[in-house]
Structure 1
Amino acid sequence: MRYLNLIKTISNWPAYFAHKYNLTTASPAVFELRGGGRILVPREVMHEFKEVFFDEAYLAGMPLGVKEGATVVDIGANIGAFSVFAATRFKGCRVIAFEPDPVNFAVLARNAEGVPARAITPVERAIAGSAGTLVFHRGDAEGVSTSGSLVRSTGEKITVEAVTLEEAFAAQGIATCDLMKMDCEGAEFDILYGASDAVLARIRQMVVEIHDQGRGTRTRAAVIAHLAAKGFQVKDGMHHLLWAWRAAP
């Protein structure tokens, strides 16, 4: 199924095997999308790219369909793999992609330019429980990083600008979010607990990677209880993901 998805979504799919078997040292890899456009994938995030495009990890078990013209919010967009995937999978959708790491964001911005109709709006901001200038740790990566975090303290330290979920929705004119993907290395707790009832009510469904810290409210069970109390139905997904959605009225 993984390679079937590869062939189904990537027109120059043999290029993937050239990278897989080290027949080329080019980085980033350039994949042409059958849905139109292209995506640049640095070697250090090839695994994460495969999870999105080959495994369709963020869609596995999705409880609600995504309608034409939907609004998708990508929190922790990294290089924009999921943003590009969503923009080419869901017809006429609008994707707002938030990424605070400047190295990652530079690739995200280029990938947004490669999608037809400029369907992706890249925003160089972190989403957090409170707004302002915050300390962000990039991890140990020299290039694109997959472990940058507002809550962990390893690797290079930089400052980034952060906004709350409510501020992000207001700035981008998001009345309803049809699908929100969140993978932000532990910041999900502050974001979800800090979000107002009003902004949560505007989210139809979300898929969240939970980085369970095993204490207090920073656990998977605590997030499930919180979202259920806010009117969401909740279920476990693959790859440490959690689905939450609102039943149709």
Structure 2
Amino acid sequence: MTTQIGGDTQNTEDPDLGSLPANAQLVQLADDLKVYTTSEGEARYIYNEIWADGCYDGAEIPDNPFIVDVGANIGLFTIYMRRKYPLARVLAFEPAPANFLLMRQNLKLANVRTSAPGVVGGVESHPKALGAEDGRARLRYYPNLPGNSTLRPEDKEPLRAALQESMTEEFAAACFDVYETVDVRVCTLQSILECREIKRIDLVKIDVEGAELAVLQGIGTLWNRVRNIMVETMESTGVREEIEALLKEKGFAIKKKSADGLTVIHAYRKNEGKIAADPGGCFNLG
């Protein structure tokens, strides 16, 4: 792995295990949930999005689902799904080294067991990005706004401009002008899953800050195994319609909700894994 800060480049190994970031802090998000994060405000925002707003609720999945978390960040969605579905098996992918280490620590704090042979359920985590093809890519990691770390930094310009207008130039600069460039491994979902004995993927959650279409393209020949997909996309990237067209082409029906420049798309198989009558949260559209 190559980390670039300013003009200096240094090689490191994949962040399998190591010390937490120097600016990590332990934050109490709820009576029964503490997490390590480098941005308390962002962690609380994501927690509210998942727990309070139920943004990823609404998919009809079995009690022992197979779930893929693409863009796992510090692990909040994975923790939520494992608590909601104790028998769930989750594959979690997070390419940013700092976020990956925080996720691993947060899974331990939440008593979420890792997957192992002969064990029902569990979480298997990978320090990788998912994309349209196997290879490597350059990830821009924002230490002050880590959930916005991206393979497509140009997509962050509208958000930076909005923060500058609504807050201050200094705040926007702290969020987006302070960054590290990290060389990360990219795999396709097909390459990860085709050698596994997994016949049904109950839910794929995608929150990858502009690379959503590439992740979907990387499903390759395995589309018929997927029952539900939850995709968060930024309207400013201009790819939502292309994403929806691809999902419909692959036989999915679509439900969506937009707010604050973001759209969460729930794609589901008709008559199978479809939206409940009143799912609540982001998909309670009336």
TM-score by length of 1: 0.77
The count of residues paired between Structure 1 and Structure 2 equals 212
User: Structure 1 stretch 203-212 or stretch 146-155: which is displaced more?
Assistant: 146-155
* Counterpart-to-counterpart distance in 2, 1:213 and 1:169: 31
> Aligned partners of 1:199 and 1:149: how far apart in 2?
25
Instruction: Give 5+ residue unaligned stretches, structure 1.
Output: 1-25
State the alpha-carbon separation in 2 of the partners of residues 135 and 166 from structure 1.
Answer: 21
User: Which shows bigger deviation, 176-185 or 230-239?
Assistant: 230-239
Distance in 2 separating the partners of 1:116 and 1:243: 26
Is residue 2:84 matched to residue 1:83? Answer: no
Gaps spanning 5+ residues in structure 2: where?
1-23, 115-121, 155-175, 273-286
**1:95 and 2:117 correspond:** no
Select the residue among 234, 237, 243 that pairs with 1:211: 234
Q: Measure how far apart 1:238 and its partner are.
A: 4.8
Letter in 2 for 1:165: L
User: What's the CA shift string for 1:43-89, capped at 9, x where partnerless?
Assistant: 14221122112222111xx2x42211111111000001000000000
Cα separation, 2, equivalents of 1:85 and 1:107: 16
Pick one of 123, 127, 130 that aligns with 1:124: 127
Work out whether residues 41 and 49 of structure 1, in 8 Å CA contact, stay in contact via their aligned partners in 2.
Answer: no
Give the 3 Å change call, closer, same or farther, for CA 156–166 of structure 1 in structure 2.
same
2:151 corresponds in structure 1 to 150
Query: Partners of 1:91 and 1:147 in 2: how far apart?
Result: 29
Q: Which runs of at least 4 in structure 1 moved beyond 3 Å after TM superposition?
A: 30-34, 170-174
**Higher relative CO (CA 8 A, sep ≥ 6), structure 1 or 2?**
2
Change in CA separation of 1:209 and 1:193 when aligned onto 2, cut-off 3 Å: same
% identical aligned pairs: 25
Task: Tell me how far 1:174 sits from its aligned partner.
Answer: 3.5
Equivalent position SS for 1:227:
helix
Task: Give 2:137's aligned amino acid.
Answer: L
RMSD: 2.3
* Post-superposition offset of 1:187: 0.7
Q: Can you list the C-alpha shifts for 1:82-123, whole angstroms capped at 9, x where unaligned?
A: 000000001311111100000000111112223344322211
More strand by share: 2
- Alpha carbons 2:63, 2:87 under 8 Å: kept: yes
Structure 2 distance, partners of 1:33, 1:126, is 32
* 1:171 Cα offset (Å): 5.8
| AA of the residue aligned to 1:159 | D
Q: 2-side partners of 1:173 and 1:33: how far apart?
A: 38
Deviation at 1:200, TM superposition (A): 1.5
Do the aligned partners of 1:66 and 1:90 also contact (CA within 8 Å) in 2?
no
Aligned to 1:220, which of 240, 248, 252?
Answer: 240
Distance 1:54 1:160, change over 3 A: same
Corresponding residue number in structure 2 for 1:135: 138
Q: 1:33 to 1:67 in 2, by over 3 A?
A: farther
Taking the aligned partners of 1:173 and 1:99, their CA distance within structure 2 comes to: 23
Aligned equivalents of 2:81, 2:47: Cα separation in 1 = 13
Counterpart of 1:148 in structure 2: which amino acid? S
For residues 167 and 245 of structure 1, what CA distance do their matches in structure 2 show?
23
**1:57 equivalent in structure 2:** 55
Q: Conserved in 2, the CA contact under 8 Å of 1:57 and 1:238?
A: no
Query: 8 Å contact 2:130–2:218 — kept in the other structure?
Result: no
Contact 1:39 1:84 in 2 (8 A): no
Q: Partners of 2:267 and 2:69 in 1: how far apart?
A: 15
Contact 1:84–1:120 (CA under 8 A) maintained in structure 2 = no
